[in-house]
Structure 1
Amino acid sequence: MKLNQNSKKLYFFSLVAVTTLIIFISQLNQNSYHLPPLDAPVASSVYPIKAYNNLKIRKNVVDLTPQEKATFVNALKTLKNTIPQDSQISQYDYYVLQHVLTMGFRHKLEATGPAQGNPAHSQPAFLPWHRQYLYEFEQALQKIAPDVTIPYWDWSDPQALKVILQDDFLGSPGQGKTINIPGVGNFTGGEVTSGIFADWTLNEKIHFDPITMTSLGTKLIRFVGLPPNDRLSLPKAEVEQLFRYDNYEIFNALIEGAMIVNDQGQWEQGWTLHAYAHSVIGGSLVDQIHPKQGVPHQTKILGTMDSIPSSPYDPIFWLNHANVDRLWAEWQDQGHTGESFYPAQGMPWGHNLHDPMWPWDGGLSEPGKYGISDLISLLPQPSSAKVITPADVLDFRNLGYTYDTTQ
């Protein structure tokens, strides 16, 4: 991993500001955000009133003890190596496959049922969908190690990636391949070949580049800090600007990271927070010479984490999304508790307050033929009894956990 000189950083920081929703939507292929005016009316403030006991605490990754790190890694690897009876893939691969197939809800892909667009991204259910997703994944880990929780990666902490990218924790940056960026220099990345995750074997049918629709192979790949995504931590002010807004749809769009509010107080396409964290770990090639509609765009995904569909294959994914959920939890505690802040109607199916969210919709919807092979056949039959809506997960403490910043 090679860091830029200051002058080169300044140049590429300007590119980050305009590396836009085209990058994200080129992977998601779905409807764009429904963005309300920045001064849209909001409900009256509501604060938590229930008291909960015996909550499990999700901690900042920099505060984990050596034993907590080892327990988390062991649970991840056990889940990865456990193949349930009558299944073709491991328990861990099943969660990755769920995430991949959220991209398959388009009529031209022969999707069926009421779900519209993408049930997990670029609409209001981004936050509740991933809250339920992390909750179920954490429950699976706790069947292996009852006290384990998913730690979070505070994007504004300069020490966080130093802790995460260790051989004895979530593995080193990739190595073995050099990328030349004209006018900037050479940067290294590639397969993770050292440390605990050197033997992390991925299903090549599930691990793919959604732009070129080609397999990324069977190894975990990282190009950490590859320009234009070369800031290894974000300014605290860039994160804290989320809390200026009381409207849920604004908060949701901003934290997903493909939209920003510019200095003139207007919506603008951007690349920050959650989306940026995917790219700073994974890395991709960006065409700055032949932009689409004046905007630089991804031409090839290089690393696992920057393939939005397959990104849960990189265990850093869970820490990234735990931080997303933590910030939402903090926002909720700051006067935004309850159903009145979430859109009740007017959104695509699956994104309204009481809409069932796939894959927890009782079998109402089924994704189409998305990916580089037949992935639908790898999914187990959905439970007709299991129905989860955004309303069901608004109270994170009711799910049995909290954060070290929301106690």
Structure 2
Amino acid sequence: MYTRKNQRNLTGAEKKRFVGAVLELKRRGTYEEFVRLHSRYYVSDAEGGVRAGHMAPSFLPWHRRYLLDFERELRKIDATVTIPYWDWTTDNTPAAALWRDDFLGGTGRERDQQVMTGPFAYSAGNWTIKGGVTDDRFLTRDLGRPSSPIALPSKAELATAMNEKVYDAAPWDSTATSGFRNRLEGWTSGGSERWRNHNRVHRWIGGAMLGAASPNDPAFWLHHAFVDLLWDRWQQKHPKATYLPRKKLPAGDPQSGRAISLEEPLPPWNVKPSTLLDHRTIYRYAT
């Protein structure tokens, strides 16, 4: 078993090792495979077919397996590396340590949002965006969206999700008005607070993090490691709660064949959510 640490507690050497492993995955072309996979399984309510990665109960187990696969690739390069997590309720400004030049680099320049600092800057020569998802070949960010400012989620806002007593609820999509999964994923019907929790973080970073190809920004992994940690904490807070729906939805349900129940296979791995409810034999989170 290994440990995922809070990014603010990483030593300089640990930051360097993480960055080095990510850059090596990029050099090998493996990184793009993860970007394509996430794009493939970003299926919205309005689209047909199975919704595995987002806007569905399987949002959390799907991303847990996705992060595990990525982490395994990193650890093949350097066995000391794990994915650090970013507590965005605490390190909640562009001045936070993760945006410094020795780690993820900072925000983008005003005219085109191109990241100019840190190891993932296009000018550093090691981070070219590929795959044809956007026209930009460089990483983009717009931390805090200065032209129309937004704030990262607060501890109080996150508590609205953590206090939910059930995992998810019908209609098992982005319109669910209760349940931990959608409160944490952060879909709402609109208004000034349309984006909550997980979704708000993507909006706050902006640039490459706004679309289905959001893993093009390495900040994605730190963000989702924290989301994964929050699922673990929610389970500890509500020990009698379980993944829902437990049973395959009947044929007459509008979400039948779209929302994945506890014992149905998650694509593309053909593993069940029930096998991903507990990570403690593989890794733990340092507080």
> What range describes the TM-score normalised by the shorter chain of this pair?
0.7 to 0.9
Trace 1:71-150 onto structure 2 (pairs within 5 A): 71-82=17-28, 90-103=29-42, 116-150=49-83
Trace 1:19-34 onto structure 2 (pairs within 5 A): none
Following the alignment from structure 1 to structure 2, what is the Cα–Cα distance between the partners of residues 336 and 60?
24
CA contact (8 A) 1:105 1:117 kept: no
Give ranges in structure 2 of 5+ residues lacking alignment.
169-178, 250-254
Trace 1:267-282 onto structure 2 (pairs within 5 A): 270-282=194-206
In the other structure, the counterpart of 2:167 is 248
Following the alignment from structure 2 to structure 1, what is the Cα–Cα distance between the partners of residues 256 and 146?
35
Q: CA deviation at 1:269?
A: 7.6
CA contact (8 A) 1:202 1:219 kept: yes
In the other structure, the counterpart of 1:342 is 244
Following the alignment from structure 1 to structure 2, what is the Cα–Cα distance between the partners of residues 78 and 165?
20
Q: Residues 136-167 of structure 1: CA distance to partner in whole angstroms, max 9, x if unpaired? A: 11111010111211111111113675111111
Trace 1:160-199 onto structure 2 (pairs within 5 A): 161=94, 162-177=96-111, 190-198=113-121, 199=125
In the other structure, the counterpart of 1:202 is 129
CA contact (8 A) 1:153 1:160 kept: no
**Residue of 79, 84, 87 corresponding to 1:154:** 87
In the other structure, the counterpart of 2:252 is none
Q: CA deviation at 1:63?
A: 0.9
Q: Specify whether residues 341 and 235 from structure 1 end up closer, same or farther in structure 2 by C-alpha distance, changes over 3 A only.
A: same
Does 2:176 align with 1:237?
no
Q: Specify whether residues 159 and 107 from structure 1 end up closer, same or farther in structure 2 by C-alpha distance, changes over 3 A only.
A: closer
Q: CA deviation at 1:243?
A: 2.2
In the other structure, the counterpart of 1:182 is none
In the other structure, the counterpart of 2:209 is 305
Give ranges in structure 1 of 5+ residues lacking alignment.
1-54, 83-89, 178-188, 209-214, 263-267, 283-302, 361-386
Following the alignment from structure 1 to structure 2, what is the Cα–Cα distance between the partners of residues 337 and 322?
24
Following the alignment from structure 1 to structure 2, what is the Cα–Cα distance between the partners of residues 171 and 203?
19
Q: CA deviation at 1:273?
A: 0.9
| 2:201 partner amino acid | A
Q: Residues 59-78 of structure 1: CA distance to partner in whole angstroms, max 9, x if unpaired? A: 11111111111111001000
How many residues end up aligned between the 2 structures? 265
SS at match of 2:100: coil
* Structure ID, larger Rg: 1
Following the alignment from structure 2 to structure 1, what is the Cα–Cα distance between the partners of residues 284 and 180?
20
Following the alignment from structure 2 to structure 1, what is the Cα–Cα distance between the partners of residues 235 and 203?
27
| 1:242 partner amino acid | A
From the two aligned structures, give the one with the greater strand fraction: 1
Following the alignment from structure 2 to structure 1, what is the Cα–Cα distance between the partners of residues 80 and 244?
32
In the other structure, the counterpart of 1:258 is 187
In the other structure, the counterpart of 1:353 is 262
**Residue of 272, 279, 287 corresponding to 1:389:** 272
| 1:140 partner amino acid | E
Q: What RMSD over aligned residues (CA atoms) do the two structures have, in Å?
A: 2.7
Q: Specify whether residues 228 and 234 from structure 1 end up closer, same or farther in structure 2 by C-alpha distance, changes over 3 A only.
A: farther
SS at match of 2:41: helix
Trace 1:51-70 onto structure 2 (pairs within 5 A): 55-70=1-16
Q: CA deviation at 1:119?
A: 1.4
CA contact (8 A) 1:62 1:159 kept: no
**Which moved further from structure 2: 148-157 or 195-204?**
195-204
CA contact (8 A) 1:150 1:318 kept: yes
In the other structure, the counterpart of 1:316 is 219
In the other structure, the counterpart of 2:173 is none
SS at match of 1:131: helix
| 1:253 partner amino acid | N
SS at match of 2:284: strand
CA contact (8 A) 1:62 1:160 kept: no
Q: CA deviation at 1:247?
A: 0.2
Q: CA deviation at 1:126?
A: 0.4
| 2:86 partner amino acid | W
Q: CA deviation at 1:130?
A: 0.4
Q: Specify whether residues 229 and 312 from structure 1 end up closer, same or farther in structure 2 by C-alpha distance, changes over 3 A only.
A: farther
CA contact (8 A) 1:274 1:324 kept: yes
Following the alignment from structure 1 to structure 2, what is the Cα–Cα distance between the partners of residues 258 and 229?
20
In the other structure, the counterpart of 1:26 is none
Following the alignment from structure 1 to structure 2, what is the Cα–Cα distance between the partners of residues 106 and 271?
16
